[in-house]
Structure 1
Amino acid sequence: MMTTTIAEAPEDLASPRAAQGSSTRLVTELADLAELAAPEVSVCVLRRGIDPDVDAFVRGWLLPRPLSETLLVDPGAPDVAALAAGAPHASGRDAFLDDVRGLISVFADLTGCPRIGVRLARLDKPMCPRLHADMVTVRLVTTYVGPGTEWAEHADVRRDRLGHRSNGVPDEVSGVLRAGARLRRMAPFDVGLLKGEAWPGNRDRGAVHRSPPGASPRVVLTLDALA
């Protein structure tokens, strides 16, 4: 059985692979998320620190409750209040909603999309446990609590064994990862942009990723660019 090595994103910031044909860009400035547009890039991750007010709100209000909220918003005036429905009007709630609005604004600026699909969920098990690529143009993902999304380099993957093509065999034994490959994992509050198969000219190069294994509860936000 293959042993899967998981590398946290902070370690990868110093990785030479980012300068040697890597399909990943790890950045520390918002403006650098635009590197996703490069043809060879399928994953761009913004490292950012944990906001204590947002973290306290998510752990104190969202994490203890069943949570699965989806919205369709106008990026010019996103109404996201439903994501914190019933929460007391305190600084943590406002900081959380401001963070979501800020991510929507950044995502809209990068994609130019007229509508954005927003999903906020508490997850108690992996939603997508096998490595796969999505048939979308681009998706933003950030995990506020719990382990973040895992992804693999384009060159490290056998795409004929992604998702259902592994015939139900776990990634660790299916051979989907080439010898010596490692998975990377986003840290809490990281902002990940995952270029999908529907991105123009990106067929068979969509970001290969999965939910982290295990049953640790997570609070995850995703944004999708919609026409």
Structure 2
Amino acid sequence: MMTTTTAEEREDLAPPRAAPASSTRLVTELADLSEIAAPEVNVCVLRRGVDPDVEGFVRAWLLPRPVSEALFVDADAPELTALAAGAPHSPGREAFLHDVRGLISLFADLTGCPRVGVRLARLDKPMCPRLHADMVTVRLVTTYAGPGTEWAEHAAVRRDRLGHRANGVPDEKSGVLRAGARLRAMEPFNVGLLKGESWPGNQGRGAVHRSPPGAQPRVVVTLDALA
């Protein structure tokens, strides 16, 4: 006797679907940041320890002040004194500038860009409070104090509800995150590479991220590749 199965029964009998490949790479070696070039990857985060001299300078000098600087520098010889304008010479000041120079050198090696846009900001509210993807090739972000940038896996989001497409509904209520999905967050001093929509072949897969919610002050440095 012939029997039929319902759609629900067919679903139960179907082999389990493989979990989508992660779009994130968490690495501990500088060289492994090159994994951002893999087609399936749109976020690569280097976990690194806190430098106490840098942290001391940031908390003593940058965190208490309304800092906002944007520079365009040559990657091989960046002039960064404006990032510490007015600060007395100290091991912490020099360590901070040395660290940013190192990030610029690293970013230039990864991207091949001769010039880099550098932004330093002390923030006391979310600069980009909604989940979104940037129209850039790739951006480097490091938080030196306060909570770090939040991001979501590519497979965890509904891109038709990103940013303004949610019609003002908060991320927590808009359904932009699929059921069971959770945001991840960078730790202070982590180096994050966020692949954007303008990376060749990455349209519709740009890293989905946002500033952390709340009013806790932050000190953030971002780098962008310039022609």
- Structure 1 residues 184-195: aligned runs within 5 Å: 184-195=184-195
Cα shift at 1:210 = 0.2
Partner of 1:130: 130
Secondary structure (helix, strand or coil) at the match of 2:216 reads: coil
- Structure whose alpha-carbon radius of gyration is higher: 2
Contact 2:20 2:155 in 1 (8 A): no
Match of 1:15 in 2: none
Identity of aligned residues (%): 83
Q: Where do 1:12-91 residues align within 5 Å?
A: 21-91=21-91
Q: Count how many residue pairs are aligned between Structure 1 and Structure 2.
A: 209
Which residue type is aligned with residue 126 of structure 2?
P
SS of residue in 2 equivalent to 1:101: helix
Q: CA deviation at 1:114?
A: 1.6
Tell me what 1:170 maps to.
170
* Uncovered stretches (5+) of structure 2, i.e. residues with no partner: 1-18
Q: What CA distance in whole angstroms lies between the structure 2 residues aligned with 1:60 and 1:135? A: 34
- Letter of the 1:169 partner, please give it: V
- TM-score with structure 2 setting the length: 0.91
2:101 pairs with 1:96: no
- Distance of 1:68 and 1:121 partners within structure 2: 4
Using the size of structure 1 for normalisation, the TM-score is 0.91
Give the distance between the partners of 2:225 and 2:150, measured in 1 at CA: 21
Task: Kindly provide the CA deviation profile for residues 9-61 of structure 1, in whole angstroms up to 9, marking residues without a partner as x.
Answer: xxxxxxxxxx9610000000000000000000000000001000000000000
After TM superposition, the runs of 4+ consecutive aligned structure 1 residues lying more than 4 A away are none
- Root-mean-square deviation (Å): 0.9
For residues 111-156 of structure 1, the C-alpha deviation after alignment (integer angstroms, 9 at most, x for no partner) is 0012100000000000000000000000000000000000000000
Give the gaps of 5 or more residues in structure 1.
Answer: 1-18
Question: In the aligned structure 1, how far is the partner of 2:20 from the partner of 2:176?
Answer: 22
Letter in structure 2 aligned against 1:205: R
